[in-house]
Structures are given as C-alpha cells and as structure tokens.
Amino acid sequence: MNDSAPGSIPDLVQQLADKLLAKKLIMATAESCTGGWIAQSLTALAGSSNWFDSGFVTYSNDAKQRMLNVPAALFEFDGPGAVSEETVLSMTRGALDNSRANVTVAVSGIAGPDGGSDDKPVGTVWIAWQWEDKALARCFQFSGDREAVRLATVAAALQGMLALLG
C-alpha cells in the first residue's frame, strides 16, 4: 500500500485530524486486537497532541475491566464475550470516562490465526465509536492473515470515526 495514496491510513489520519481540530474535539482509543496500532497511526502525525489524548491497549479481559470498567459479567460463560457489541460499547464509554477525550473508538476481535469459533470465526471484529452520548457499533468480517485483519481493522476504525464526525 502506498502510504500517500487516497484512503491510505496516513491519509485517513490527516482527514480525521482536520475534523477533530475543526470541531475542537479530543480523541482516545480503546484497543484489543490491534494492540495499539490505531493510537500509533494517530500519533505518527506531527501535532497529534493537539487532538489525541490517550490510547488504552486492553488485550486481556482483566485489563478491559481494570482500565475501562468493562463489566465482568460480559466475560462470563453465558455472557457475550470480549468480541461483542456490548464489550466494545462498554470500552468506548470507559475510554471517555478515563480520559479527557470526548470522542473515541474501540476495537475487539479475533485476528487469528487461532482463536476463532463457528459463531466468531477468525477475522470477526467489533468496532464501536462514541461521540458524547452518540454511540454505535458494527461487526466486521475481515479476511486474510493476522496482519491483514489488524490493518483492515485500523482502516475501518478510522473510516467509521470520520463518518461519525460528519
């Protein structure tokens, strides 16, 4: 991928930075399967401290509970699990509550090559976006190897944030 091509991650980050600055918004991320890749992409842009507050890398369920206040019940045997709408929506709320941000994105998924199931195959990723009280979540099914799933997740997270901000 050409890093300067329209629709590339650096291009999406620049568009997002412009929108955040224009709207005087501050962003945070809450990441599981991407391991901080979204935050890294955002902070690769010089001046990101003007619109980016923090990134929470909560790979384990315990970290999601401790750092983002995700309810333990979501991870119980009969709960929806880490890769679910409920979890990513709770992660966005936790990121807002534990930062100075007013917009956030959260991701949780199964990047592979292992860990999938019939209900949640490898490539299943839930992404949620929240701006103040407006929150939405969407399930994606990405294909490819672990890196391809993670890269597609980063791109979808950024595109969704741009759409949320209008």
Query: Which pLDDT score is estimated for 1?
Result: 33
**Domain 9-165 carries which CATH code?**
3.90.950.20
* Cis preceding linkage at 113, omega within 30: yes
> In the predicted model, is pLDDT for residue 3 greater than 50?
no
Please give the helix or strand (H or E) that residue 13 lies within, else none.
helix 9-23
- Contact (Cβ atoms closer than 8 angstroms) between residue 105 and residue 38: yes
The C-alpha angle with vertex 38 and arms to 158 and 71, in degrees rounded to 5, equals 95
- What is residue 102's DSSP assignment? S
Domain boundaries, the chain: 9-165
Task: Tell me the pLDDT tens digit for each residue of 123-163.
Answer: 999 999 999 889 999 999 999 999 999 999 999 999 999 99
What average pLDDT is seen over the chain?
A: 95
Separation of alpha carbons 90 and 75, rounded Å: 12
